Amino acid sequence: MKTIAIDLDDTLNDFTETLQRTEFVRDRTHAISEEVFRDYLARLRSGSAESGGLLSTEFTYFRAKIHQACYELTRARADGVAFLQWLRQSGWRIVICTQRDLRRAQEVTRKWLADNGIPFDVLFMAGNKIVFCKLWGIEYLVDDDEFNITHGRTHGVSVFFPATDRTRSSQAGQPGWPFGARGFERFEEIKPWIQG
C-alpha cells in the first residue's frame, strides 16, 4: 500500500491567515492585563519566538491558547480535501503528520478533520518529519516547512509544498533550485507526481 504524509497548518488549512485575521478577546483565563495580551498577540502574529531557555512561560501558555482557538477556526483548502478523498479512493494510506502538540490538541484536531471530511489513517505529531518519513518508509511528504523542503530529497523523501509568497520569494522549487522539492498551486498538480 502506498503511503503519503500530509501536514495540516498552512498546508491543508489557512492557519497563519486565521491567526492574522481573527479578533481574539482577552478573558479572565488569560490572567494577564490587556496591554500584555495585545503585546503577546503582536509578538505571536509577527512570528517572534520565546526568548530564554524556559519551556513553559506566560507567553508559551498564551501561544497555546491562541493556537488552540486557531485550530478550531481554520478553513480547510477545498482542493486539499478533494485530494485526500481521491487518495482514499485510490487506496493510499494517509498519515496526517503535524507539529501540533497532540497531547493538548488531539481532540480539536480530530474534530476538525472529521468536520471537513478529511480521511486519514494515522494522526501523528513529529518535530522532524523527514526522520519520521524515513522511519515509517514514507516516500512522499506534503508540507510547507522550509527545513523539510530543503532536506527531504537528501534523505529520499519527495516533498511537495504549497506555493506561497514565502516559498516563492525563496525561489523554492524553481528550475535550478538544488533541493528537488516541488511547489504546487493546487493539490491536483501532485497526482501525476505520485502515480507510476
CA angle 165, 169, 171 (to 5 degrees): 120
Comparing CA positions, the residue from 15, 3, 190 lying closest to residue 98 is 15
Position 176 scores a pLDDT of 44
Position 58 scores a pLDDT of 86
CB 5 within 8 A of CB 195: no
Q: What is the gyration radius of the CA atoms in the chain, in angstroms?
A: 18
C-alpha cell at 141: 511528504
Q: Over the range 102-123, which residues count as b (16 or more CB within 10 Å of their CB) and which as e? A: beebeebbeebbeebebbbeeb
Which secondary structure element, helix H or strand E, spans residue 131, and what is its range? helix 129-136
What residue type is 19 in one-letter code?
Answer: L
How far apart CA 8 and CA 84 sit, in angstroms, is: 12
Position 122 scores a pLDDT of 96
Position 55 scores a pLDDT of 62
Position 31 scores a pLDDT of 85
Q: Over the range 158-167, which residues count as b (16 or more CB within 10 Å of their CB) and which as e? A: bbbbbbeeeb
Using the Cα atoms of residue 22, residue 85, residue 87 and residue 100 in order, give the sign of their dihedral: positive
Sheet containing 182-184, strands listed edge to edge, beginning at the edge strand earlier in sequence: 122-125, 93-98, 3-6, 140-142, 158-162, 182-184
Over its length of 196 residues, how does the chain's per-residue pLDDT go in tens digits? 899 999 999 999 999 999 999 999 998 888 899 999 999 999 999 987 766 665 678 888 899 999 999 999 999 999 999 999 999 999 999 999 999 988 889 999 999 999 999 999 999 999 999 999 999 999 999 999 988 998 888 899 999 999 876 555 555 545 444 567 899 999 999 999 998 6
CA angle 7, 43, 66 (to 5 degrees): 55
> Domains in the chain, ordered, with CATH?
3-12+76-194 (3.40.50.1000), 15-73 (no CATH)
Which secondary structure element, helix H or strand E, spans residue 63, and what is its range? helix 58-73
Q: How far is CA 42 from the centre of its chain?
A: 21
Position 138 scores a pLDDT of 96
pLDDT digits (tens, 9 = 90+) for 45-81: 998 776 666 567 888 889 999 999 999 999 999 999 9
